[in-house]
Amino acid sequence: MARLLLLSNGHGEDLSGALLGRALQRCGHQVDALPLVGGGHPYRDAGIPLMANTREFSTGGLGYTSLRGRLTELIQGQVLHLLQSWLQLIRIRRRYALVVVIGDVIPVMAAWLSGRPVATYLVAYSSHYEGRLNLPWPCGNCLSSTRFLAVYSRDLLSAEDLSLQLGRPVHFLGNPFMDPVLAPAAPRPPRRYRLALLPGSRRPELEQNLLLLLQVIQRLPAHLFSNQELAVDLALIRSLDDAALQALIAPHAWQIHRSDHQVALVKGALRVEVQRGAFASVLQNANLVISMAGTAAEQAVGLAKPVLQVAGKGPQFTANFAEAQRRLLGPTVFCAEGDSGQPATLDATAKLALELLEGSELDKALQRRCRQQAEERLGSMGGADRMASAITDLLPPSQPSLSTNP
């Protein structure tokens, strides 16, 4: 089989790249990775070798969203780091039979400059934002090149749109990042309603988001908790440990309770179960997801769950980001009107949460919409394996021995 290079630019893209890389390894290929932004942790976790030094930046790869963010990335050296990564790609390009892009215009351009055959998974772009995808220059020119052997989209509408724009077939095979949450996970204790909280994964934004989500929980009727009708699961990253969590919530009269290896946040009758390392289980068992996250919200929609947004102060999950996410993910993503963090907005969010919890049980039309949006916008399980099989079909039946010299 062949030696392949994964080229990605962002944490979510690295996650999809690592899942696709594992699927390519199962097809017998030798797989390396070159993440252009961030630490490449999903590749390390998957045991996929990294072909360049990686570096984390305080903007989390989101500096493009503001002038301050762009200046911060410039001062911290992210532009120089990107150029160094590109130079490394040029040095090692001849080792690989194919470059596999996961991301947007930056890795697409880098792959084109490498001169190697390319397959592209455009996970960062969707026609759902505006109805027609306006690819930034020179992305469209690169994708139309004969050097790009295949293009895969993140949803059905984008595949149809780009097939017309590029004058070549663009395929929707599903999304690798959906595979971990679509696989069977452990059930949670039965309740009439289960609510999942997703504060995101970027710190310190995560801490700000969590405090906002707890304010929403405080506005839910206490009797739902005391009668054990409602359970709330908080999907939390491991890096926010119990000590840091206690310091964060204590000024707001919340406390940590521990029992039988379970951690919960408690305030009077209110109780929020802290779940680390159980993300798929949290999503699968939820009736409603309250989200301040990016990829995690997409995964929730892919599981046919209604999603309720709470806009924050950013840098990622701002009101503008939330509005764009609703266009991307469709009519089963909801958001209360009002300014972020204002009492009236939080009241409206809690009221909408109660309505959606009831609708998840009784509203058949809502349930049908959730299933339809899941299939059209995210696809079914097995996206990584389908994409890996399609990429394998692009390669000659047998590969000659590839040089390992730059």
Full-model pTM: 0.88
Is the domain spanning 184-377 CATH 3.30.360.10? The answer is no
Same fold for the pair 3-180+381-394 and 184-377: yes
Per-residue pLDDT of the chain (406 residues; tens, 9 = 90+): 899 999 998 888 999 999 999 999 999 999 999 998 877 889 999 999 999 776 555 444 444 444 455 455 444 456 676 888 889 999 999 999 999 999 999 999 999 999 999 999 999 999 999 999 999 999 999 999 999 999 999 999 999 999 999 999 999 999 999 999 999 999 998 899 999 999 998 888 999 999 999 999 999 999 999 999 999 999 998 889 999 999 999 999 999 999 888 999 999 999 999 999 999 999 999 999 999 999 999 999 999 999 999 999 888 899 999 999 999 999 999 999 999 999 999 999 999 999 999 999 899 999 999 999 999 999 999 999 999 999 999 998 764 444 444 4
| Domain boundaries, given as residue ranges, for the chain | 3-180+381-394, 184-377
Q: What is the 3-state secondary structure (H, E, C) of the chain?
A: CCEEEEEECCHHHHHHHHHHHHHHHHCCCEEEEEECCECCHHHHHHCCCECCCCECCCCCCCHHHCHHHHHHHHHHCHHHHHHHHHHHHHHHHHHCCEEEEECCHHHHHHHHHHCCCEEEEECCCCCCCCCCCCCCCCHHHHHHCCCEEEEEECCHHHHHHHHHHHCCCCECCCCHHHHHHHCCCCCCCCCCEEEEEECCCCCCHHHHHHHHHHHHHHCCCHHHHHCCCEEEEEECCCCCCHHHHHHHHHHHCCEEEEECCEEEEEECCEEEEEECCCHHHHHHHCCEEEECCCHHHHHHHHCCCCEEECCCCCCCCCHHHHHHHHHHHCCCEEECCCCCCCHHHHHHHHHHHHHHHHHHHHCHHHHHHHHHHHHHHCCCCCHHHHHHHHHHHHCCCCCCCCCCCC
The topology under which CATH files domain 3-180+381-394 is: Rossmann fold (3.40.50)
